[in-house]
């Protein structure tokens, strides 16, 4: 039985932190599930960590659906959330609804996530009223990278923008979202937003007081060397570890240390002697 959005609310009501991790393929999804996370976000961060872009803007609905299909196929327990890519929900509530329906039906996810505050509330309302659970996303919105002038611009540092974010949080909750990601805000604002709304807040670069946390798989495992966000903790130097192992492989092949005879499959002696017999006849 998969974790549901009701479990999210129950955990928050009981004060149990919610753990969310991104995953995109068989390996990351199986590892995330084995680690016991409550939820997997098939994030548009895949644009950076899988596809090699600088930001999530080039990611399409088909891309996220493709990865969501893999993640839902190979996991059983975590709630899988599909991230709605840039411009797939911003044109009108009807456009958003059609694309969210595709994410649910084709991707097999249990919920969708979309970026935006007050301005997105009518869209969230429309989608939730059609029976699709929506996770909001306020604060630093990576899909607005070109408007913000970068992916690492903290939000809500002055009074006016902090007040707007508090308003955004309430609007997203009132529109019917079951939870919201709060990204890239000062820890104090992360706490204030969490106190202001009743639905779970899932923080990333928003301090320790949100109801849960979300992190990018590659950041936690040290696999993405392009940059290391301040908010992430590298639990293992994955890239260095794997590079050393793969270098060893290449050296072993060159030195004929791998494969050895133990790694080989052997022919039955009968087949072998038949082959030799044929050679003798020639
Ligand atoms: O795409 C993503 O991975 C995200 C999270 C970091 C919140 O949106």
Q: Which residue do the tokens 């990865």 mark?
A: 67
Same domain, 97 and 219: yes
Same domain, 183 and 259: no
pLDDT for 35 equals: 98
Same domain, 172 and 229: yes
Same domain, 143 and 204: yes
pLDDT for 230 equals: 78
Same domain, 275 and 185: no
pLDDT for 279 equals: 61
The CATH number that applies at residue 126 is: 3.20.20.60
- How many residues in the chain? 282
Q: How many domains does the structure of the chain reveal?
A: 2
pLDDT for 153 equals: 86
Same domain, 196 and 267: no
Same domain, 187 and 260: no
Indicate which residue of 118, 159, 183, 281 is catalytic.
183
- Tell me which residue range forms the domain holding 261: 241-281
Dihedral over alpha carbons 78, 213, 45, 161 (to 10 degrees): 140
Distance 114 CA to ligand 1 centre (A): 10
Q: Is 43 in the pocket of ligand 1 (CB under 6 A)?
A: yes
Distance 247 CA to ligand 1 centre (A): 32
Provide block-wise average pLDDT over 10 residues at a time, the chain (282 residues): 97 98 98 98 97 96 98 98 98 98 98 98 98 98 90 91 98 98 97 98 97 97 81 92 98 97 93 83 60
Specify whether the backbone of 98 is left (phi greater than 0), alpha (psi in -120 to 50) or beta. alpha
Annotated catalytic, 125? no
């Amino acid at each position: 039985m998969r974790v549901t959005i009701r479990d999210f609310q129950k955990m928050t009501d009981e004060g149990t932190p919610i753990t969310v991790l991104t995953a995109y393929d068989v390996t990351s999804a199986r590892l995330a599930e084995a680690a016991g996370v409550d939820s997997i976000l098939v994030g548009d961060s895949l644009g950076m960590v899988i596809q090699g872009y600088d930001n999530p803007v080039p990611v399409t609905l088909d891309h996220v659906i493709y990865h969501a299909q893999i993640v839902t196929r190979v996991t059983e327990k975590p709630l899988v959330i599909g991230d709605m890519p840039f411009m797939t929900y911003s044109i009108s509530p009807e456009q958003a609804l059609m694309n969210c329906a595709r994410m649910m039906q084709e991707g097999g996810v249990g919920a969708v996530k979309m970026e935006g505050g007050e301005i997105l509330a009518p869209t969230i309302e429309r989608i939730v009223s059609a029976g699709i659970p929506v996770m909001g996303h306020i604060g630093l919105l990576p899909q607005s990278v070109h408007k913000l002038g970068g992916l690492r611009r903290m939000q809500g540092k002055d009074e006016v923008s902090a007040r707007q974010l508090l308003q955004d949080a309430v609007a997203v909750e009132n529109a019917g979202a079951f939870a919201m990601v709060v990204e890239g805000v000062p820890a104090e604002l992360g706490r204030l937003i969490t106190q202001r709304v009743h639905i779970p807040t899932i923080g990333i670069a928003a301090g320790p007081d949100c109801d849960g946390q979300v992190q990018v798989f590659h950041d936690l495992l040290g696999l993405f060397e392009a940059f290391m966000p301040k908010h992430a903790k590298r639990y293992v130097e994955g890239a260095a570890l794997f590079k050393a192992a793969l270098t060893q492989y290449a050296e072993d092949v060159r030195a004929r240390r791998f494969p050895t005879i133990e790694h080989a499959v052997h022919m039955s002696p009968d087949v072998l002697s038949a082959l030799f017999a044929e050679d003798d006849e020639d």
